[in-house]
Amino acid sequence: MKLILDAFGGDHAPEEIVKGGILALEADPALKLVLTGKGETLTGLLSAADPGIRARTEVVDAPEVITNDESPTEAVRAKKNSSLVRAFERLKEDPEVGGLVSAGSTGAVLTAGLFKLGRIRGVNRPALAPLLPTLTGGQVALVDCGANVDCKPLNLCQFALMGGAYVKAYCGVKEPRVALLSNGTEDKKGNELNKEAFPLLKALPGIRFVGNMEARELLSGDFDVAVTDGFAGNICLKSYEGMAKAMMTLLKEEMLSSFKNKMGAMLLKGGFKKVAKRMDYASNGGALLVGLTKVVVKSHGSSKAVTISSSLLQAKKLAESGMVDEIAANLAAAAAE
């Protein structure tokens, strides 16, 4: 399986991105990588790797870089020689390549995904779908978490179908429990969008719709897919992130506040790290950009090597799983109803 890595996207590009690529190649001998970016720099960075690893890499020289400050549409149009645009072009053209990973600007990845790669037939709007670890040891996909800030009920239905196919393919959940993120659990709760979407989701073939869910139940383990418009989804995701950060900050303060607490903290250090790591969804891989004709994983902008490696292995698993075909089939079945 060959994947593409946008080696110049992300806060720690290109060093950490390339390191992450090498880590993934070391972890999976069946993986091959195409790295896009400044050719000389990449060749230099790759020279640190084992010759056996290097033999499974290819460098595509793309000297331009798209940054977070640029307008995504303009940048994707203007910077034809950027690491991101060249990555998407290769993804589209090369039948051997199954997927792409980028830690670059979310907006630019979305734009390039739409205009350089293209949507699965029947998909109106691709969506960003991160996987969050639940309290029962599973994962829940939050679809959409920011690609589409204004949605129609039809979009939410498609998010449900795509999210279902995603967790089926990636997490092995046979009948994903799909819920609608709302301001209460009762059927009649919700804003206008949700109220219109609710009966459509209920009638949708191919998913197991379990009704409305509250944001505080996201990690309960009772749901496999949480469907929402990208605005509310973004608020939800970042609120979870904000509270995790706040709790860790306060706990650290407490741990240093007395000798007794310092002793306790020393003993509990390992346990804390485990919890912090488990709740740090960003380091567990990337958010899938679901609805495109090939697998595209958007890794967190702050991704370091380990996260990039996770994102690559996630992309490989998804590319091999037949998820794209599953989504196409789900959408065709729903359209035929």
Residues that bind its own copies (CB under 8 A): 135, 146, 149-150, 181, 183, 190-192, 194, 214-219, 228-232, 234-247, 249-251, 254-255, 257-258, 260-261, 263-268, 270-272, 274-275, 278-279
- In angstroms, the CA 245 to CA 265 distance is 18
- With beta carbons less than 8 A apart as the criterion, state whether 311 and 297 touch: yes
CB of 36 to its own copies, least distance (A): 26
CB of 105 to its own copies, least distance (A): 11
CB of 9 to its own copies, least distance (A): 18
| Residues found in the chain | 337
Pick between residue 43 and residue 134 the one whose CB is nearest to its own copies.
134
- With beta carbons less than 8 A apart as the criterion, state whether 297 and 315 touch: yes
Query: Going along 190-286, which residue ranges are E strands?
Result: 208-214, 225-227
Q: How many CB atoms lie within 10 A of CB 266?
A: 10
Pick between residue 121 and residue 238 the one whose CB is nearest to its own copies.
238
Pick between residue 41 and residue 194 the one whose CB is nearest to its own copies.
194
Give the burial class of 119: count Cβ atoms within 10 A of its Cβ; 0-12 exposed, 13-18 middle, 19 or more buried: middle
Is beta strand 287-290 parallel, antiparallel or unpaired with respect to 127-129?
antiparallel
Pick between residue 210 and residue 275 the one whose CB is nearest to its own copies.
275
Pick between residue 80 and residue 262 the one whose CB is nearest to its own copies.
262
CB of 276 to its own copies, least distance (A): 9
Pick between residue 146 and residue 176 the one whose CB is nearest to its own copies.
146
> Which DSSP symbol is given to 34?
E
The candidate with the shortest Cα–Cα distance to 180, out of 216, 130, 228, is 228
What is the CA 70 to chain-centroid distance, rounded? 21
What is the CA 90 to chain-centroid distance, rounded? 20
CB of 48 to its own copies, least distance (A): 35
CB of 108 to its own copies, least distance (A): 14
Give the burial class of 199: count Cβ atoms within 10 A of its Cβ; 0-12 exposed, 13-18 middle, 19 or more buried: exposed
